[in-house]
Amino acid sequence: MDQEYAVRVDHAVVRFNMASERIDNLKEYFVKLVRRELMFKEFLALKDVSFQVGKGEAWGIIGTNGSGKSTLLKLICGILKPYKGSVKINGSIAPLIELGAGFDGDLTARENIFLNGAVLGYDKHFMQAHFDEIVDFAELWNFLDMPIKNYSSGMAARLGFAIATIVRPDILICDEVLAVGDFAFQQKCERRMTEMRENGTTLLYVSHSIDSVKSVCDHALWLDHGNVKMQGDVETVGNAYMEALR
């Protein structure tokens, strides 16, 4: 029974220390640090968060800016560690938190496909075999030999998404990465995510578009200032969230 979950978060707390006074230079910072005069105030980005994602489910993480959505995804990916509580993962994760984080702006898109693939753990032969598929999906054949630094954010996102989803992971994590793309490409990405779900991939999806969350997800988790405000089926939670915004 334990193997039926993909992600389980139990009473997770994420804490950050924020300097309580302004320090203008590095020297002053280290002097205060040595003298133990540096004061911090505690900021809890997530407060006692618990939820469980079954294998093959799609969860939308919703909430206003600063509610803890991205922090929760980084916790699940292992980028952050919980101050209290635990996070358990069943399966491989493909995190789409910062598309193109492995790109080099001075290299062409063609070169960056192989570079980004290497960052994600794919060898050259694998990338060669999937090269046409990546460029077809990203719709960038006319811009392959242009340096990435000359790409718009939407073009870079398209390429990053195409590379990151060539392998069907057990768990796909998407954080607002489609917001920079045009509407037609957003729909194309949603179709690919739906297709991956139909093949058994579990999805965690952050978006400010409730319509997008409803079209892709079957469950939703509503965060408010680091607290779980509500969780359950996507229609009920989504409607309650929109009502609260009004």
Say what the pLDDT of residue 12 is: 97
How far apart are alpha carbons 168 and 53 in whole angstroms? 18
DSSP state of 147: B
Q: Sign of dihedral through CA atoms 87, 8, 66, 156? A: positive
pLDDT of residue 190: 82
Task: Say what the pLDDT of residue 20 is.
Answer: 61
Strand partners, 108: 147
Amino acid symbol at 148: I
The model scores a pTM over 0.85: no
What was the pLDDT predicted at 161? 86
Q: How far apart are CA 196 and CA 171, in angstroms?
A: 10
The CA distance from 75 to 95, in Å, is 11
- CA-only gyration radius of the chain, Å: 20
Place of tokens 């990405």: 189
Looking at the domain 2-245, which fold is it?
A: Rossmann fold (3.40.50)
Beta carbons within 10 angstroms of residue 112's beta carbon: 25
Tell me, what's the pLDDT at 118? 86
pLDDT means per 10 residues in the chain (246 residues)?
82 83 70 69 90 95 93 92 95 76 87 88 93 94 94 85 86 76 80 88 90 92 96 96 93
Question: How distant, in Å, are the alpha carbons of 92, 111, 164, 183 from that of 127?
Answer: 19, 11, 11, 28
Instruction: Say what the pLDDT of residue 1 is.
Output: 44
CA 113 to mean position of chain CA atoms: 20
3-state secondary structure 182-235: CHHHHHHHHHHHHHHHHCCCEEEEECCCHHHHHHHCCEEEEEECCEEEEEEEHH
Question: Where are the domains positioned within the chain?
Answer: 2-245
170 and 91 Cβ atoms separated by less than 8 Å: yes
Provide the terminal-to-terminal Cα distance of the chain, rounded to the nearest Å: 41
Return the pLDDT at 112: 93
